[in-house]
Amino acid sequence: MSQDSRSSPVEPLSVGNIVSSGFQLYREKFQEYLPIALAAVGWSLLPILGLIVLGLIVAVIMGASQQPVAGAGLGVLGFVAIIVLAVFCSAKSLANSALITRLAFGELTNEPEALTEARRFTNSRKWSFFAVQIWVGLIASGLVLGVYIIAALIGFALFVAVGGVGGGSPNPGLMIIGGGLLLLIIVVAIAAFFWLSARLFGAAVPLAIEPQILPLQSIKRFWSLTKGNVWRVFLVLLITFTITLPLYLIAQVISIIPQGLVLALVRDNPSALAIGNALSSLIGYAVGLLLSVVVLPLWQIIQAAVYYDLRTRREGFGLKLRDR
């Protein structure tokens, strides 16, 4: 685009502009970001392939040597190696995903960065991205565990209150109140999930863009930026997911069709049925991977657009948005 088209002063974006800017950049840069997304998904796939190879090797050794102990020992050592590989591959995958976010942010702010420089920056922080992922997982797990404990305690208290322990006749009024409370807990839990998703959606974005920031600082940074804008961020997520929903539905249909064909054609042949189910599962997994490669750049771009908007609203920093 020409420099004139980028000269409009910075201003906060509407929810619609965030999504439309993201999709516009996605269309323009799809071919450039696709290999990066392929690398990100490929790194996440590598440990699974390693686990399959390990299983085959252990099976061959145990069958050839007739020594289950030796095969089991090799399996344990190999499994430990796979765990180490999975950690490394996860860090590399997250770094590639963050690379798309960094490149997209540069495009959105008319300060494009060379791919080699951006890759060097994000790759140097791959372990920090992994740490952010761990912290986000712990926070989400803590919320789920807390809701589960509260629901269990309330459920047990209601069970006792309606006569579940003493064997007395249940109190209809208490049962209605209990059902209402459990329904309220479910609604609150769903709202809490949406709220937390918005607060942590771009937890790694500051780490991908800002210098001299640590994993926990990145989470706190995005958390602070989303203060007062939680439901705007959630609305962006909802709109983006709704627009991409047909892709997920198509992928689901493509995954189900082979399973139906297998059941219809070879249901009376156990061996063929097992092979057919394995092949249909493999097809479904491949379709899922392909969808991940296609959709990943869009979500990383949306992260960059949301981060841009939040910084503009909270800090009013002097950036200029590309023509949208």
pLDDT in tens, 26-71: 999 999 999 999 999 999 999 988 888 877 777 777 666 666 665 6
> What SS3 class is residue 229?
coil
Q: Give the residue carrying structure tokens 């807390």.
A: 146
118-149 tens-digit pLDDT: 999 999 999 999 999 999 999 999 988 888 88
The pLDDT value recorded for residue 151 is: 78
Across residues 112-116, what is the average pLDDT?
A: 94
- d(CA 74, CA 10) in angstroms, rounded, equals 59
Closest Cα partner for 133 from 191, 188, 94? 94
Of 205, 291, 204, the closest CA to residue 251 belongs to 291
Report residue 207's pLDDT band, with 50, 70 and 90 as the boundaries: very high
Average pLDDT over residues 221-231: 92
Can you tell me the distance from the alpha carbon of 312 to that of 304, in angstroms, rounded to the nearest whole number? 12
Best CA proximity match to 93, nearest among 260, 234, 289, 304:
289
**Residue 73, CA distances (Å) to 29, 68, 264 in order:** 48, 8, 42
Q: Where are the alpha helices (DSSP H) in the chain?
A: 15-65, 68-108, 115-123, 126-161, 172-200, 205-209, 215-225, 230-266, 270-315
Q: Which amino acid is at 139?
A: I
Q: What is the pLDDT of residue 2?
A: 40
Please report, to the nearest 10 degrees, the dihedral formed by the alpha carbons of residues 192, 96, 89, 124 taken in order: -100
CA atoms of 210 and 126, how far apart (whole Å): 14
CB-neighbour burial class of residue 320 (10 A; exposed 0-12, middle 13-18, buried 19+): middle
The pLDDT confidence band at residue 213, using thresholds 50, 70 and 90, is very high
Ramachandran quadrant class, 317 (left: phi over 0; alpha: psi -120 to 50; beta: rest): beta
Residue 4: band (very low, low, confident or very high) from pLDDT cuts 50, 70, 90: very low
- Locate the domains of the chain by residue range: 4-315
Nearest alpha-carbon partner for 230 in 264, 251, 201? 201
Query: Each residue of 73-112: pLDDT tens digit?
Result: 777 788 888 899 999 999 999 999 999 999 999 999 889 9
